[in-house]
Amino acid sequence: MTVAAGECVLRGIGWLSGQPTGFQDALLSAGIWREVAPQTTINHGGDKDGGVWGIAAGQINLTSVLGASSSPVADIQLPGSWGGFGPIFRRPRAAIAFAAVPSLVLLVPQARLQRILAEHPAWWQALGELATDLAFRYGGGLGDMLITNTRQRCAALLLRLGDCRRRDNDQGHPVTISCSQDAFAAMANLSRQGAGIVLRQLAEVGLIRLHYGRITILEAAAMRRMVDLD
């Protein structure tokens, strides 16, 4: 993907797409484009310095550093997603973020971001919106993990990972995530066998498609109705 195409993605979907054009221009101009190889870390948990980053292509996985050191991947971020904002609010980063597949990421150094915000204090609201969006994402995810029905719980997890838990993904087509069944089972706190049974059931009714190391969400709206069925 070219830089121009990457800018179009970040302007067109996700958090940045909803911000004023001037803020979009300033953030994209301040950023550094980086092609990231699989398993390369872009965000170290515990860091007290560092800017924000946005994903134009690929997939970034997040592992929390707030729990046990053996914690599995906690979340998946797809194109249009942003992260790494903790230090701008004087908080350490709470996760390790690494590329799951070849990815194109825009890194905005903290000093440059601080200069932008010093020149335009009203734009702090944009960062507040990002923090709030992610707080709702993870708060909702915690609630979903308390669903007692295993099929509904797994479907809710898949929807969050595909960024379509409450609405269709901004990309407007079936969403594929790079995630093995072993990894999904760990995220769902299930055995591989138990998670595999649920995934096959969802595939048999046409809600998802299973590939080697990947899962495609085909019918997000139908999955949401199933999850939220009383």
* Spatial distance between the Cα atoms of 129 and 138, rounded to a whole number of angstroms: 14
pLDDT reading at 182 higher than 70: yes
Q: Specify the higher pLDDT residue, 228 or 168.
A: 228
Q: Specify the higher pLDDT residue, 49 or 104.
A: 104
Per-residue pLDDT at 183: 93
pLDDT reading at 127 higher than 70: yes
Please name which of 127, 120, 58 lies closest in space to residue 87, comparing C-alpha atoms: 127
The dihedral sign for the CA sequence 125, 128, 134, 136: negative
* Spatial distance between the Cα atoms of 144 and 165, rounded to a whole number of angstroms: 10
- Provide the mean pLDDT of the chain: 91
Query: In the structure, what pLDDT confidence band is assigned to residue 47 with cuts at 50, 70 and 90?
Result: confident
This prediction has a pTM of 0.90
pLDDT reading at 172 higher than 70: no
Per-residue pLDDT at 67: 78
The residue written with tokens 């929390």 in the block is 64
